[in-house]
Structure 1
Amino acid sequence: MRVVLTRPAAEGARWSADLARHGHQAVSLPLIDIGPTPDPLARRAARDRLPAYQAAMFVSANAVRQFAGSAPELGWPRATQAWATGPGTAQALREAGVPDAQIVAPADDAVRFDSEALWERAAAAVQPGWRVLVVRGAGADGAPAGRDWLTVRLQAAGAAVDQVAAYARRLPHWSDSQRAAAEQAAVDGSVWLFSSSEAVGNLRRLLPAQDWSRARALATHERIAQAAREAGFVVACVRPGLDALVRALESPR
């Protein structure tokens, strides 16, 4: 099966190698470009303030890696929880030296991996007066960007929430060969893998006139699936992770 990977380039390379071991051909067409944060001083200051927070929530593995920067480990404070929305982010925290006992995340066999699933695990511990840091990417204006669902829940529970952008998410610049590969993958039976609604939106910006009605996609969340359907794809939801993706690729349509 030919799979189109839309994750940032570094992640796409790892997924391509993993899929090749399972006999699938992968082409990487990154739909989000990861760059340095526009305000590195704010990121470093947030790292220095970590002991002042009862918890720090990371929206993705990229958020963990970019927050850590060039340091091999984060030097995680003993009294601060590290929150992750899924197993990939939790693994990135472990690789950054965060002890397992301080990581709060949905179970590996959870039905979904998102802020709602994380809140189900974290809510009981949150107390009025808590301070929580949310580490995420920056939008086009350089400010932290993303869903505010968890922030609203935390504030309703009496917690104070700070946000910091650990990296910048940008529209990638595709070469002519990448555009041609995407146009071919719209009609040749390839399966597109989407793990971000933003990626779907960027694809529509890069190829605004493309008809996606003959293209099949797998999405890792219903919100992402809906965005892909609105673009014209035939979409199915799949749990995040390599094993679930391989099962979906090899199951009858």
Structure 2
Amino acid sequence: MALAASPSFVTESLRVVVTRPEREARAWAEALQSRGVLCDSLPLIEIAALPDASPLVVHWKTVSTHLAVMFVSANAVRFFMAARPAGVALANCRAWSTGPGTHAALLAAGWPAESIDSPPEMATQFDSEALWALVAKQTQEAADWAAAHASPQPTVLIVRGADTQGQLAGRDWLALQLEGVGVQVLQTVAYVRRAPALTAQQRALSQQATQDGSWWLFSSSEAAQHLLQVCPDLPIGQARALATHPRIAQRLRNAGWGRVEIVPAGLEAQAESIKSLA
């Protein structure tokens, strides 16, 4: 559904289709539009709760023993925090996030600000590499201390989503870095990511937006995969896409998108970058 173009400074000749999960897509589209970018919201990743959240409760019982809990998304925060048993404190455990959305979700959930490690809001990159640059030193020091004192390896719990077959969503790059310095990595699934069931109106929007010069905004290559899964006959060879990371951009090009551009992940810089497109 298109958002109302209320600001007088909205760029009418340029339309962006935001493909994040529904909750995030609507908020991001509204934020872009308030900065002068005409938007449609078309969620291409559906987020669902686990059929059984008891494994999350088990992880909460040991949360204070970890060096950190790393959250891959705001949804990871939302579902993990929803499983928190009464009386479990957070002060003794650090939280890691790769971007401002997840950081904001942690703050909203009550995680102490001084216990959160996340790239700054104006960072040029929001990914595992940017996070690792912040936490590598403290992680190495913790691992070295444990080895020197014959103590158990420090642990980091990664909270993430999975697809409907139970396959973990996201990359293993950060886990490999942690294991490489002597940290034990534990992983848990907090929610399910799946392709949405599009309405007739959404399918019509998909067809139109691949042919009318609209820009599809992808912050996840999974959203692009879901689009072709639910609308396999889209003429993406003549379509235009925006990617928030070079890896996503390369996957879009490999899939056959006609034109692919990279835009910043941060809201302000992204809006300005989009408005500069020809």
Please tell me the TM-score bracket, short chain as reference: over 0.9
C-alpha displacement of 1:77: 2.2
Match of 2:110 among 97, 108, 117: 97
Q: Which residue identity lines up with residue 170 of structure 1 in the other structure?
A: R
Q: What's the CA shift for 1:76?
A: 4.9
State whether residues 7 and 194 of structure 1, in contact with CA within 8 Å, keep that contact through their aligned partners in structure 2.
yes
In 2, the alpha carbon distance for the partners of 1:38 and 1:144 equals 16
Q: Offset of 1:231 from its aligned partner?
A: 2.6
Using the TM superposition, give the Cα deviation of residue 214 of structure 1 relative to its aligned residue in structure 2, in angstroms. 2.4
Alpha-carbon separation, structure 2, partners of 1:136 and 1:67:
9
- CA change 1:163–1:197 in 2 (3 A) is same
The answer to whether structure 1 residue 148 and structure 2 residue 148 are counterparts is no
Whether the aligned pair in 2 keeps the contact of 1:38 and 1:167 (CA below 8 Å) is: no
Please list every run of 5 or more consecutive structure 2 residues that lacks an aligned counterpart in the other structure: 1-13, 144-152
The separation in 1 between residues aligned to 2:216 and 2:106, in whole angstroms, is 28
**What runs of 5+ residues in structure 1 fail to find an aligned partner?**
none
CA contact (8 A) 1:200 1:227 kept: no
Superposed CA RMSD in Å reads 1.9
**C-alpha distance in structure 2 between counterparts of 1:241 and 1:110, whole Å:** 8
* Structure 2 counterpart SS, 1:7: coil
Please tell me whether the aligned partners of residues 4 and 190 of structure 1 are also in contact (alpha carbons under 8 angstroms).
yes
**Separation of aligned partners in 1, 2:183 and 2:54:** 25
Match of 1:42 among 55, 67, 88: 55
Q: Deviations over 1:68-104 (max 9, x none)?
A: 1277x99652221100011111111111111221111
Q: Which runs of 4+ in 1 moved over 6 A?
A: none
Q: Aligned pair count?
A: 252
Q: Which residue of 2 aligns with 1:244?
A: 269
Q: One-letter code of the match for 2:228?
A: R
Q: TM-score, normalised by structure 1?
A: 0.92
SS of residue matched to 2:238: coil
Give me the identity figure in percent: 44
Q: Decide whether aligned partners of structure 1 residues 86 and 64 sit closer, same or farther in structure 2, where only a CA change above 3 A counts.
A: same
1:78 maps to which of 72, 91, 94 = 91
Provide the rounded CA distance (Å) in 2 between the counterparts of 1:111 and 1:246.
14
Return the offset for 1:209. 2.3
CA distance in 1, matches of 2:163, 2:106: 23
Find the counterpart in structure 1 of residue 183 from structure 2: 159
- Native 8 Å contact 2:46 2:196 kept in 1: yes
**Partners of 2:87 and 2:167 in 1: CA distance:** 23
Q: Are the aligned partners of 2:263 and 2:274 in contact in 1 as well (CA < 8 Å)?
A: no
Q: Give the match's secondary structure for 1:208.
A: coil
In 2, the alpha carbon distance for the partners of 1:106 and 1:180 equals 38
Match of 2:238 in 1: 214
Match for 2:28: what amino acid?
A: W
Q: Which amino acid aligns with 2:97?
A: A
